[in-house]
Amino acid sequence: MLKILLIDDEAGIRKLLSISLRSEGYDVITAENGKRGIELFEQETPSIVLTDIKMPAPYGIDVLRRIKQINPEAEVIVITGHADMKLAVKSLQLEASDFITKPVSDEALSIALKRAEERLRIKKKLKNYTYDLEKAVKEKTGELEKSYKEMETLCDITRGISEKKSLGEAFDFIIDRTKKILSFEEIIPLILNEEKSGFVEAAGFRHPDTEDRESFVSTIASICRPMNIDELRIKGYPWLKSFDTYNSLSVVPIIKEKDVVGGVILLASAHTVFSGKDLRFFYLMLSQVAGIIRRIALNNEKMKELENKVKMFSGYGGIIGKDHKMQQLYGLISDIAPTDAAVLIQGESGSGKELVARAVHLHSYRKNKPFVVVNCSAYPQTLLESELFGHEKGAFTGATHLKIGRFESADKGTLFLDEIGEIPSMSQVKLLRFLQFQKFERLGGMKTIEVDIRVIAATNKDLKKEVENGNFREDLYYRLNVIPINIPPLRVRRNDISLLVEHFLKRLNSQGSKKIKRVSSEAMDILMCYGWPGNVRELENIIEHAFILTKDEFISEQSLPLDISSSCNQSKKISSFQENERKFLVRVLEEYRWNKLQVAKKLNISRSTLYAKLKKYNIHSSKSCPNVNPVQAQSYNGGI
């Protein structure tokens, strides 16, 4: 059982950490201050010390310095607050093993302890190696030097490889450390993917071009010890033909706890280059870092999968955006598109509500049927009903012929009711009846017409508030709001601005002989700084404005509308601390759609502190974000 010394001047923290550590199987001794901690360290000789960095004298730094004087091999993990990062860095300079920040999470503590245990194990192994090598120095000096170099390389690789982010970097590092020990000309890493159906790509290294790839993958997954070319030829592996130009070939497996992670092929032109001892060393080294290599490979796989998803979703059904909020929106569209449920799309003007409606239609089974758009704000009541339901000849003055309404036109397809919040009260009643029964009569007609359509509605109003004010029927609201979609405004997904600019430029370049390559960095800074009250539509208009005025190959700051530049310059003026804090709070609240619980978590403050600041600066959702209310905020955070 590994012994841990815990030093902290706060009794509560000592008690909590002691319980956690003992539950993990450690033998824990505690000290209430640095002086007592040093005494217990000398008496009990624990392997790991966990000490607070900020304590009454002797301070944590002094305790660390004294412990390292007594036993330099001891692993010391420092506990520090976020405000004490300079002390944390200083402790690392004094050879502290690691540091964790308060409040101490079980996960962070567990990771730090596992690292410490791993270093202790390596140190112990290093001592054992050193002892054995020194014992044999009189008989085999040459072998001792080589073994020591191997041991040093092993420790160096074990320490350094965990910092690498990709398989290519990891194996470049391994090659650099082993090239003086192993005389290979080429190395081919073959790391199995999670399903063990293929290999994870290692950038900068080639993959064998074999006829039977499935058999090759199966072979690598089954080799459990180093094998040279003669042994492999006896097995009759057909993929060996791919390496006929080399005279020396060995396969060294990478094994983690009896599980084959992959393998490495070593190649050289000379005969019998790889001795049994060399391969044994390489095998042990790879086994030592097999877990790290596996982790890097799986991370690379996940990153590649994520990149593919981002590429796939950066333009979805005509919608442009790869911000995580848009990824959530795409996922929601994919989930609801195959259904016939009514959808209510809410968002600010210019945010792309019709594009979202079209995306739902294009990913539904109705995609080959009509998509009919009605702008409810463009018609007075009589004409709106005629537009929706149609009319018979003579139904009203001027009705000189029969007219088919939008409901009939959209049969078997999708009807998109834009600006649904503008529909008059009488029309709301008729629309509700249609939504309930999918039946209606034309104006002036007696025949009941039945159709099969999906209804998607959109508005930039807060329909819930319209219901409360008596402007919109509650039963119609709930009938339309089966699936709510809230589109994030452009100001809370600024990462998409450059992507949208690129899209608009590409489209404008394709329409004529004029070619604009890019937007200057200064102009892009202004676009990123601007508040975008008109959202994507406003951005599109501004890019078209700048495109027309630009004479060079790139859009400069001078090509942008003056009010955009002025607005950005004004926002960059130095403000007071209180003004900056208020603006920051409003920006974060808008980003999280006024979900105060999430904002408090993001800022690492309590909700009571957040409410106090909102009261102090007189911040209200109705003033700071008129198109978003708390109900919408909850729907947004819970829905997409």
Provide the pLDDT for residue 632.
36
610 touches 603 (CB < 8 A): yes
Q: Mind listing the pLDDT tens digit for each residue in 587-607?
A: 888 878 788 888 888 888 888
Q: Mind listing the pLDDT tens digit for each residue in 426-458?
A: 889 989 999 988 899 988 888 899 999 999 999
Provide the pLDDT for residue 637.
34
Query: Over 534-598, what HEC string results?
Result: CHHHHHHHHHHHHHHHCCCCEECHHHCCHHHHHHHHHHHCCCCHHHHHHHHHHHHHHHCCCCHHH
Q: Is the dihedral of CA 550, 551, 553, 558 positive or negative?
A: negative
Over residues 621-636, the mean pLDDT reads 38
Over residues 260-277, the mean pLDDT reads 85
Provide the pLDDT for residue 581.
81
**Assigned token pair, 157:** 């690789």
- What is the value of pTM for the model shown? 0.46
Q: Mind listing the pLDDT tens digit for each residue in 37-65?
A: 999 999 988 989 998 888 888 888 888 88
- Which one-letter amino acid corresponds to residue 80? T
Rounded CA-CA distance 405/392 in Å is 10
Provide the pLDDT for residue 640.
30
Q: Which run of H or of E encompasses 221?
A: helix 213-222
Burial of 25 (0-12, 13-18, 19+ CB in 10 A): exposed
Q: Which is more confidently placed, 30 or 383?
A: 30
Residue 633 has pLDDT above 60, yes or no: no
388 touches 380 (CB < 8 A): no
Rounded CA-CA distance 537/490 in Å is 10
Q: Mind listing the pLDDT tens digit for each residue in 306-347?
A: 655 555 445 566 788 888 888 889 889 989 999 999 999 999
